[in-house]
Amino acid sequence: MVRGAKCAGGGVETGKEALRCHLMAFEFRHTVLENGLTVIAETSPESHTAAVGFFVKTGARDEPRELMGVSHFLEHMVFKGTERRTADDVNRDFDRIGSSHNAFTTGELTAFHAHVLPEKLMEATAIIADILRPSLRQADFDEEKGVILEEIAMYDDNPFWRLWEHANERFFGAHPLGHRVLGTRETVAALTREQMQSYFDRRYCASNTVVCAAGALDFDKLVEQVRACCGSWQRGEVSRTHPPFQPHEERVMVPMKQANRAYLAWLCPAPSVQDPRRYAAAMLAQILGDSEGSRLYWALVETGIAEEAQAQFDGHDGIGEYVVYVACSPDNVARVDEIVRTELERVCTAISKKELANARAKIATAVAIAGERPDGRMRRLGSVWLYRGAYASLEEELAQIESLTVEDLLSVARDFPLRPTLRAQVVPETAVCSA
């Protein structure tokens, strides 16, 4: 059990003190059912709402390459009905309890969640538990396949999305983190209902699922509800492969008729989500490429050389990456490339205490905002648990950030130099850009 509390007082606040003053009191609870399903929660009697999510540790990286896109497709199929409910029943039941609900799929997890008034939490839990045992009817499968193919076509018309998919694929190469979450037209078109059923049976088992909740709730009642709804689920035996990752230098150019500007990305290896150095990596990326007030912003956006310039750290299970993204005129590609590479080198050698303090203040604000709503807490809680198998409060996370020094950031830059191994760009078909 872990507790956090509000604070009171005046004076000047540090980032950590500000967070403590804005977060409500909470209590962390944790249990594992007999079939291996994990239930976790952050409870707060001061909350006016409650949120619950079912997080399944499966995503695009867990798919065989020939089944790419099955996780996302299955997310859609979950809402198509069960033995007890039709698709219309699912929608009506969520509406009846006033639920704000949704689902999402990433490269590493799939989640189904709802945000409700506290007295409706048990009903929301029961509905999600039911739809997670979908019928997967052939007629629904055929209809939804068309929807997925249209979604792929829509995203393929988005220059940034096309840039990201090509960059990610080439950066990770044979590693499954290079799989496309939506899949491709070819893999989705070839997918059968039987293949989806087999994937579901393997991955959507009790031991691979975490139920997490946050807000005004009775944890013991939640556990009993989950046991009643999910106690019969098979335990299952699930693993995730971690093949070696060998980045290699490469440049990728993708001509695109719909593009009216150049979209560029640079990718570099970075710490994994389990690596303690992830905090320093995230801070380094923020100093380099926050949307405002960062080095890339001042060097590219404020000067009018580019329209957008950002950098981010993405930690994954076992691997991480830095991503720099810039949108600019095709005429400025060479100049932008030179400036980005210069800034990547500079941030690895010199960081001011002021830059560090400014980044801390922004992170404190973001953490406080994330902690204000139960649905935000729930989503963070589930994701962190799936990645690390352990609890860390928002305050603990901020304390890690607060303790960082300039030397910590320079140290992670030495361990993971910001030297791009891949540079990708999407450009108008008519543009002539330097490779």
The yes-or-no verdict on residue 306 having pLDDT over 50 is yes
Q: Radius of gyration over alpha carbons of the chain, in Å?
A: 23
pLDDT of residue 247: 87
DSSP assignment letter at 298: I
Fold agreement (2-6+24-230, 250-428) = yes
The yes-or-no verdict on residue 137 having pLDDT over 60 is yes
| 367 neighbors 394 (Cβ within 8 angstroms) | yes
pLDDT of residue 358: 92
With CA atoms as reference, report the closest residue to 183 among 56, 65, 58. 65
Domain 250-428: top CATH class:
alpha beta
Structure confidence at residue 248 as a pLDDT band (50, 70, 90): confident
Round to whole Å and give the CA distance between 374 and 380: 10
* Residue 75 bears catalytic tag: yes
| 51 neighbors 375 (Cβ within 8 angstroms) | yes
pLDDT of residue 7: 36
The yes-or-no verdict on residue 14 having pLDDT over 90 is no
Structure confidence at residue 434 as a pLDDT band (50, 70, 90): very low
With CA atoms as reference, report the closest residue to 175 among 97, 251, 234, 241. 241
| 207 neighbors 37 (Cβ within 8 angstroms) | yes
Q: Which residue has the higher pLDDT, 251 or 2?
A: 251
Structure confidence at residue 257 as a pLDDT band (50, 70, 90): confident
pLDDT of residue 20: 52
| 281 neighbors 320 (Cβ within 8 angstroms) | yes
Residue tagged active-site, from 13, 34, 46, 75? 75
| 47 neighbors 25 (Cβ within 8 angstroms) | no
Beta bridge partners of residue 2, listed in sequence order: 28
DSSP H helices in 204-317? 219-230, 278-289, 295-296
Token pair 């409910």 is at which residue?
Answer: 85
How does pLDDT run across 18-62, given as a tens digit for each residue?
455 455 678 999 999 999 999 999 999 999 999 999 999 999 999
The yes-or-no verdict on residue 342 having pLDDT over 90 is yes
Distances (CA, A) of 109 to 72, 136, 269: 10, 20, 21
Structure confidence at residue 12 as a pLDDT band (50, 70, 90): very low
How does pLDDT run across 383-412, given as a tens digit for each residue?
999 999 999 888 888 888 899 999 999 999
How does pLDDT run across 77-128, given as a tens digit for each residue?
999 999 999 999 999 999 999 999 999 999 999 999 999 999 999 999 999 9
pLDDT of residue 395: 84
pLDDT of residue 363: 82
Percent of residues, the chain, with pLDDT higher than 70? 93
- 3-class DSSP assignment, residue 309: strand
How is residue 136 written in tokens?
């997967």
The yes-or-no verdict on residue 196 having pLDDT over 80 is yes
pLDDT of residue 150: 97
- The pair phi, psi for residue 349, each rounded to 5°, is -120, -25
pTM over 0.75: yes
pLDDT of residue 130: 98
- Look up the CATH architecture of domain 2-6+24-230: 2-Layer Sandwich (3.30)
Q: Which helix (H) or strand (E) holds 145?
A: helix 138-156
Domain boundaries, the chain: 2-6+24-230, 250-428
